[in-house]
Structure 1
Amino acid sequence: MSAEPILEVKGLKTYFDINGGVLSKKVGEVKAVDGISFSMQEGEILGIVGESGCGKSTTGKSILRLIEPTAGEVRFNGEDIMQLSSENVRKLRRDMQIIFQDPYASLNPRHTVGKIIGEPLLVHGIGSKTERKQKVKELLETVGLRSEHAKRYPHQFSGGQRQRIGIARALAVNPKLIICDEPVSALDVSVQSQILNLMEKLKKEFKLTYLFIAHDLSVVKHISDRVGVMYLGKMVELANKDLLYDEPKHPYTKALMSAVPVPDPDIKQERVILQGDVPSPSNPPSGCAFHTRCPSCMDVCKTDVPIWQEVAPNHQVACHLYNETTKEENVI
């Protein structure tokens, strides 16, 4: 791994306006991503997990500027993506690609598989027509399909095969970073393992870096090097996967980990049941966003936003339980 991170995200915010009334004026905003920061080294797989609606997918799309962020900084190979023109962002997408969640919705039903996979090559002006056709055939075989499949249409394939087509399209321009937006959540369990194994194989073969977004904790543990946990638009914990799964620090992470099924029936696991529903991102709670459901909630949690700090080597968390002054104030 190189010393310089391939991707640096600082204070990323993505808000969506809520319009209402007769004149459709702005009456509020949804804070889908609310000031998250992390970095990634080349060749790393960083998993991002959290409940539905916590802002995982919006984070991935904001990094690529498929959704325009409200504020923050995203640096790819040292270059600030937020300052680039739309034309320069398009050129940069040769190095940054995405695999979408739904293999049924992300492929154009009117185009052949050959055209779908070859389109990125055409957009970026790579190769002649003959070279592009050859590249498409090679990509299909790389992802476990046959070269003659290039003449077929998406509806002629299963969900797993369609996701392989989506992966081939992402690989077409030899990117350095691939954002995987829940790439296996729409697939059967047996197919999920095939796609995950394929992605691991391709990572080594093409020296890829993955930002892997998912809500299945066992899938994330299987494929990731580090894991970040999101709650209501904020990153609450980030650590090496073994550290995070064996010694979770944040109360929300502990609750998530307690829900992961253990295959051994003799192991009795204590389940942490959270009370209440996830608050609305259009009206988040004051202080720590998790305080309304936290079993360890203190008075300071209701008023002060916890700072993002390192509590152990390569283990960061945003929680008042690990703030030294808070600890002293709450000693009885």
Structure 2
Amino acid sequence: MSEKDLLEVKELCKYFPVRGGLFKRVVGHVRAVDQVSFTVRKGETFGLVGESGCGKSTTGRTLLRLLKPTEGRVLFEGEDVARLSRMRLRKLRRDMQMVFQDPYASLNPTMTVGQLLEEPMKIHGMYGNRERKRMVEELMDTVGLDTGYAQRYPHEFSGGQRQRIGIARALALRPKLIIADEPVSALDVSIQSQVLNLMEDLQAQFSLTYIFISHDLSVVKHIAERIGVMYLGRMAEIAPKKKLYTCPAHPYTEALLSAVPVPNPSLKRERIVLQGDTPSPANPPQGCPFHIRCPKVFDRCRGERPELLQIGEDHYVACHLYDKESRSKVV
């Protein structure tokens, strides 16, 4: 782990048991996250993308240990989050916060905005009563909300305002890392840009590091610096934004990008239509998890799972097309 890295994920796995039979014994596992590895540098925005069910949200929750990892390591500033004691983990949570997808479901409807923003400070014993009230007003002003709204309840706000409350709550403890799980997907397009611009401003103001989870590649392109593409619980490709959007290496990444709308109607993009359905993570295919839908599949893909290989500066891909042994056979 280099000095530039804030977070390093090594072969992270999260499996959920499948129970069946009269005695509800474990008969299998859903491999929601399967040997995922990547790093996040201090001050950057790392995008995590993929279609629904690929495991990106589960990855985000496991990084914060809202879900306990099955295997692997999550190093936050050199400390393994997966192996910390309960007391040490509680202290570390001040540095790692999350913004959830549904701003209404993540806010307690029985608490006022002021109480919601003050609660994290109370739990961690920060400041006195008067200082906490001042901090609540400061947080609301920072995210663009009128401080007079502190006595209102979540249902009295619009979706965009509720997401601003969620962002303010994540900022309450002055964290170093914020994991944003589809933070704008439930908002109107006009409001999405406002929230994204707010997040960029806050990143510069508070020196924040983001992991931005989304299925919308056009949104990720706006905010992320490096992007990881997930498929069926595994990392398919990791690359800087410009390289990923101009020279995608993995066939799955190519298919995803071909579906992104082009704002210029005079430009035409050839759509890559994948055949078949996404396999179940409870019964993933042997070999490459993408091989049953891949238009470039060959024999080795069906029997051997590809490793994440470096093919350029900061560019990694899990595909046999870029393995020297496979390349010589294919060509």
Same fold (TM over 0.5): yes
CA distance in 1, matches of 2:111, 2:231: 38
CA distance in 1, matches of 2:71, 2:304: 22
Give the fraction of aligned pairs with identical amino acids, expressed as a percent: 60
CA distance in 1, matches of 2:56, 2:192: 20
**For residue 43 of structure 2, what is the amino acid of its counterpart?**
G
Q: Post-superposition shift, 1:3?
A: 3.5
Q: Which residue of structure 2 aligns with residue 194 of structure 1? A: 194
Q: Which residue of structure 2 aligns with residue 272 of structure 1? A: 272
CA distance in 1, matches of 2:213, 2:86: 25
Q: Which residue of structure 2 aligns with residue 27 of structure 1? A: 27
Structure 2 unmatched ranges of 5 or more:
none
CA distance in 1, matches of 2:142, 2:125: 22
C-alpha offsets along residues 78-115 of structure 1, whole Å, 9 cap, x if unaligned?
11111101221111000000000101100000011111
**For residue 15 of structure 1, what is the amino acid of its counterpart?**
Y
C-alpha offsets along residues 93-151 of structure 1, whole Å, 9 cap, x if unaligned?
00000000101100000011111111111111110011001100110010000111110
Q: Post-superposition shift, 1:39?
A: 0.5
CA distance in 2, matches of 1:156, 1:69: 37
CA distance in 1, matches of 2:100, 2:266: 38
Q: Which residue of structure 1 aligns with residue 151 of structure 2? A: 151
Superposition pairs of residues 122-271 of structure 1, within 5 angstroms: 122-271=122-271
Q: Which residue of structure 2 aligns with residue 284 of structure 1? A: 284
CA distance in 2, matches of 1:36, 1:48: 12
Does 2:304 correspond to 1:304? yes
How many residue pairs end up in the alignment?
330
CA distance in 1, matches of 2:187, 2:329: 49
CA distance in 1, matches of 2:134, 2:87: 28
Q: Which residue of structure 2 aligns with residue 9 of structure 1? A: 9
CA distance in 2, matches of 1:330, 1:229: 25
Q: Post-superposition shift, 1:4?
A: 3.3
* Bigger mean CA deviation after superposition, 305-314 or 238-247: 305-314
Structure 1 unmatched ranges of 5 or more:
none
CA distance in 1, matches of 2:312, 2:21: 50
Q: Post-superposition shift, 1:73?
A: 0.4
CA distance in 1, matches of 2:83, 2:3: 24
Q: Which residue of structure 2 aligns with residue 99 of structure 1? A: 99
Does 2:318 correspond to 1:318? yes
CA distance in 2, matches of 1:304, 1:281: 17
CA distance in 1, matches of 2:132, 2:246: 47
Secondary structure of the structure 1 residue equivalent to 2:196: helix
Secondary structure of the structure 1 residue equivalent to 2:162: helix
Superposition pairs of residues 106-125 of structure 1, within 5 angstroms: 106-125=106-125
**For residue 85 of structure 1, what is the amino acid of its counterpart?**
S
CA distance in 2, matches of 1:216, 1:178: 19
**For residue 212 of structure 1, what is the amino acid of its counterpart?**
F
C-alpha offsets along residues 249-281 of structure 1, whole Å, 9 cap, x if unaligned?
000000000001111111111000000000000
Secondary structure of the structure 2 residue equivalent to 1:107: coil
Q: Post-superposition shift, 1:74?
A: 0.4
Secondary structure of the structure 1 residue equivalent to 2:90: helix
Runs of 4+ in 1 over 2 A off after TM superposition: none
CA distance in 2, matches of 1:58, 1:127: 33
**For residue 45 of structure 1, what is the amino acid of its counterpart?**
T
- TM-score after normalising by structure 2: 0.99
